[in-house]
Amino acid sequence: MPFVTRQLAALSTAIILFASSGSDALAQKKYDAGATDAEIKIGNIMPYSGPASAYGIIGRTMSAYFRMINDNGGINGRKINFISYDDGYSPPKTVEQARKLVESDEVFLIFASLGTATNAAIQKYMNTMRVPQIFVSTGASRFGDPEHFPWTIGWQPTYRAEARIYASYILTNHPNAKVGVLYQNDDFGKDYIQGLKDGLGEKFDKTVIVSAPYDVGTPTVDSEVVAIRTAKPDVFINIATPKYAAQAIRKVAELDWHPIHIMTNVSNSIGGVIKPAGVKNAEGILTALYNMDVTDPQWDSYPGMQRFRAFLAKYYPEADKSDAGTIAAYNLSTGLVEVLKECGDNLTRENVMKVAANLDFEVETLRPGIRVKTSPTDFYPIEQMRMSRFNGEHWEGFGPVIDSHIDQVALSTK
């Protein structure tokens, strides 16, 4: 073969090999809108204003967390562009912000937006657009329905399951007690009511002798608490978001009423609820927990808690160190980072949901024994909790870690 011909043949072979290797490299990286070699756009919606503004600390902690992640090189070399908007805890505003994030900002996914009614308002939209609505910050059972909403997945134990734990506690420890319930008049509150019905069964009608709903935006729940007190129940179940939960605690104290007081997990923040309500007024209140209590010294020696506190000190030093919202946000963000790391260079929305549907890991600032685990038919990542009592300083756990799982058959009856 003449020299020139040989050279041309070798050059052709090199070009083919280069093109082949180049196409292989390109094939290894897959992107949807919001993801590139350089960054991943993450959308979020929080009530920084309005009746649930106490939760705003969650969004601010997440922003700080992703600054830390970026300072340490990002996720698989990509920086996180965290875009968080205020919806004032108003569903119509949530819809507006979700459309802005997806259609204008072109985020890769929407992460940990807060609220039951607010997430419900965008659930169909997110699934129609095929954009992940991942780790929603609500325990409503409707957000774990992969058959009908495959692009939506929860994070925390469901409200319905949590209420079943409270029903079990009442039946075991106070089987003849009469119960009064304060609840928010939307899917958030009604999920707890359904859980109490699940747990109390045929005893529900005889056990729950009074219930008082309140609407979001009402100035106070004082009159509702007074109405419940008038019926003289032995157990008071406080199903309210932070502002109203604190009001209820204060009113119970003003009435010199001393029921067995059970309060929803979403209002367990010592900084955001207990202190505003009056620490003395809150002594003895019961709840169920899955996150470590940021005020409890028993966790001081745990490496995870030490890392969490070092993060707060550096990236969010002005945060209220006693507010449970900080560690809730930290754990949620840790979960998202785990998912994105696992996605590697396949940053398609479909792959995100595939990874989110096959989780099995621990977060070092969840309570010991609690594991994040999902499957393609189980979109409830955390299903374990432990009963706890406020002792005047922090939440003190008692009894075993309880699996709060509700199977899909039970949920389908909701």
Does the pLDDT value for residue 16 go beyond 70? no
pLDDT tens digits, one per residue of 28-44: 889 999 999 999 999 99
Q: To which CATH superfamily is domain 159-289 assigned?
A: Response regulator (3.40.50.2300)
* Total Cβ atoms within 10 A of residue 285: 25
Give the predicted TM-score (pTM) of the model.
0.84
Domains 39-157+300-382 and 159-289 fall in the same CATH topology: yes
From the candidate CATH numbers 3.40.50.2300, 3.40.630.30, 3.40.50.720, 3.40.50.10310, the one assigned to the domain spanning 39-157+300-382: 3.40.50.2300
The alpha carbon dihedral of 223, 224, 226, 230 has a sign of positive
164-177 residues labelled b (16+ CB within 10 A) or e (exposed): bbbbebbbeeeeee
Does the pLDDT value for residue 8 go beyond 60? no
Residue, of 260 and 404, whose pLDDT is higher? 260
Q: What is residue 9's predicted lDDT score, i.e. its pLDDT?
A: 52
pLDDT tens digits, one per residue of 210-235: 999 999 999 999 999 999 999 999 99
pLDDT, mean over the chain: 92
Does the pLDDT value for residue 289 go beyond 90? yes
Average pLDDT over residues 37-57: 97
Average pLDDT over residues 383-411: 79
Q: What is residue 403's predicted lDDT score, i.e. its pLDDT?
A: 83
Does the pLDDT value for residue 322 go beyond 80? yes
What angle (nearest 5°) sits at the alpha carbon of residue 313, between those of residues 303 and 87? 105
Q: What is residue 407's predicted lDDT score, i.e. its pLDDT?
A: 39
- Measured between alpha carbons, how far is residue 31 from residues 26, 41, 120, 350 in Å? 11, 12, 28, 10
3-state secondary structure of 40: strand
Does the pLDDT value for residue 408 go beyond 90? no
The rounded percent of the chain whose pLDDT value lies above 70 is 91
Q: What is residue 28's predicted lDDT score, i.e. its pLDDT?
A: 80
Average pLDDT over residues 392-405: 88
By the 8 A CB rule, do 44 and 65 touch? no
The alpha carbon dihedral of 131, 132, 136, 140 has a sign of positive
Domain boundaries of the chain, sorted by first residue: 39-157+300-382, 159-289
The rounded percent of the chain whose pLDDT value lies above 90 is 88
